[in-house]
Amino acid sequence: MKKFFFTTLLFSFIVSNIVAQPFFNKKGMESASIAYVVKNLKTGNIVHQQNNLLSFTPASVTKLITTATALEILGKDFTFKTYIEYDGVIENGTLKGNLYIRGGGDPTLGSYKMGDPRFMQSWAKIIKSAGINAITGAIVADVSLYDQEGVSPKWLWEDIANYYAPSIFALSIYDNTCRVMLRSGAEGSAPEVISHKPFIEDMILHNHLVVKNIKSDSAYFYGSPLSNERYLFGAVPINKKEFIIKGDIPNLPMFFAKEMDKNLRNIGIKIAQQPKVLFKKENTNRKVIHCQHSPKLSRIIQEINVKSNNVYAEHLFKYLSLQKNNVAHSAVSIGVVKSFWKQKGLNTESLFLQDGSGLSPKNKISAQFFVDLLCYMRRSENFEAFYNSLPVAGESGTIRQFLSGTALSGNVKAKSGSFDMVQCYAGYMSDSYAFAVLTNNFYCPRREIVREIERLLTQSIR
């Protein structure tokens, strides 16, 4: 029996090294690190593994943890709620008090992904139908459910204020994204800022962009969450009559209040005071005019995992902290997530979590943890919602090119994750295997590392 065990172990070690060896034999991969686990879901046996307990930067594969945790804690039918409220009294068509929009963390308000971009016009009609034609107070954006931090302190400065790393507050609008229209001329000149959508009247753009003979832009926005100033650096292509770059919406809570104020004034409601923002909870007696529900969580996580939507993921991640706190804070969410999975029997010693989207390079997670989580979800009553949220290799989402033309095309549902020197995948193969492949610190073209991962996966279940 001992001889059989030793022989089996030796064979597994040899096969694992044969499968992974090409990673370390190609130029640009000499300094790369790789970890992977492939587990048979039917037998529970590990098919292949290497460096399975080492923690790697997983990029957006982190979203698997956020969405799985949210499903288990909140349930697939959970919805975010946003309230329209007022204090004071309504007399003869006049609200003698303030009108509040109380945020509940809904990332889909006005979203071009899943919401109604004209939702405020609908809200304005609801408010008017409540008998309000004038307001003696102000429109108040109540963002007190979430903290004032806005962005994770673990994010990189080069990412903050770009459309994929905007500030996260209890009120969200238009995917928290501003599209800036440029016109470019000759190489070496500065592009002209033509317009921006949505229009933000008090936004100050410091344009340090240059025009270069390139095909795509390398433009970045820089700025802090509650500032109205944004700095543009980088390059855009030559001779473009219209060229769009995307950043965040500066000072998002105030912008939300002003948008609501504008929509109410547009239908004739008079408002005495200027819009305001409420950051801290207050004990006031308010009456509810309307409650807006988001789409169900099962739909929201599809957007997160198929399109790798950071905005949706961070809202959801932050909301999880409300299991322990009455004000949402990402640092508390980290504890909630780790505690939940530890209670479920998963080894969290290799789970070093910093955010919900995977944008922070300080996230460090093992391939083993991802596979253990995938195995747990396979047995969960929420598995169908979780499984349906994943894109299909060779067909959809961020993995529509992955494994295309191989035997696994159309037979893998997984989440990808990538940024500089990081390329990772985790998910299910052929309904029979859970896998995670994490690679860090390569400097070859990304397509080469992807081909090696494809080769590893196709060979691992032969």
Cβ atoms within 10 Å of 194's Cβ, excluding its own: 13
Q: With the CA atoms of 346, 351, 354 and 358 taken in that order, what torsion angle do they form, in degrees rounded to the nearest 10?
A: -90
CB 435 within 8 A of CB 37: yes
Q: Residue 3 — very low, low, confident or very high, per pLDDT cuts 50/70/90?
A: very low
The rounded distance, in Å, linking the Cα atoms of 127 and 93 is 11
Q: In this structure, is the dihedral angle defined by the CA atoms of residues 144, 149, 151 and 155, taken in order, positive or negative?
A: negative
Residue that wins the pLDDT comparison between 230 and 26? 230
- 414's enclosing H/E stretch is strand 412-419
- Please say if the pLDDT value at position 12 is more than 70: no
The rounded distance, in Å, linking the Cα atoms of 133 and 318 is 36
- Please say if the pLDDT value at position 18 is more than 90: no
| pLDDT at site 5 | 33
- Structure token pair of residue 425: 């995948």
Non-local (6+) Cβ contacts of 225 within 8 A are: 149, 150, 151, 160, 167, 251, 252
Which single residue is written with the structure tokens 């686990």? 37
| pLDDT at site 283 | 81
| pLDDT at site 145 | 98
| pLDDT at site 24 | 60
The rounded distance, in Å, linking the Cα atoms of 36 and 51 is 7
- Please say if the pLDDT value at position 8 is more than 70: no
Lowest-confidence region among 155-164, 276-285, 299-308, 377-386: 276-285
| pLDDT at site 401 | 96
Q: In this structure, is the dihedral angle defined by the CA atoms of residues 41, 47, 53 and 56, taken in order, positive or negative?
A: negative
- φ, ψ at 8 (rounded to 5°): -65, -45
- Structure token pair of residue 247: 């950043």
CB 346 within 8 A of CB 337: no
Helix segments in 185-320, DSSP class H: 252-266, 297-307, 310-319
| pLDDT at site 461 | 73
pLDDT in tens, 342-394: 999 999 999 999 999 999 999 999 999 999 999 999 999 999 999 999 999 99
- Structure token pair of residue 361: 């390079």
On the CB side of 309, CA atoms within 13 Å amount to 28
Mean pLDDT (whole number) for 4-21? 39
pLDDT in tens, 407-420: 999 999 999 999 99
What domains does the chain contain, in order, with CATH numbers?
2-76+298-460 (3.40.710.10), 79-295 (3.50.80.20)
Non-local (6+) Cβ contacts of 386 within 8 A are: 67, 68, 71, 301, 377, 380
Q: Residue 28 — very low, low, confident or very high, per pLDDT cuts 50/70/90?
A: confident
pLDDT in tens, 217-230: 999 999 999 999 99
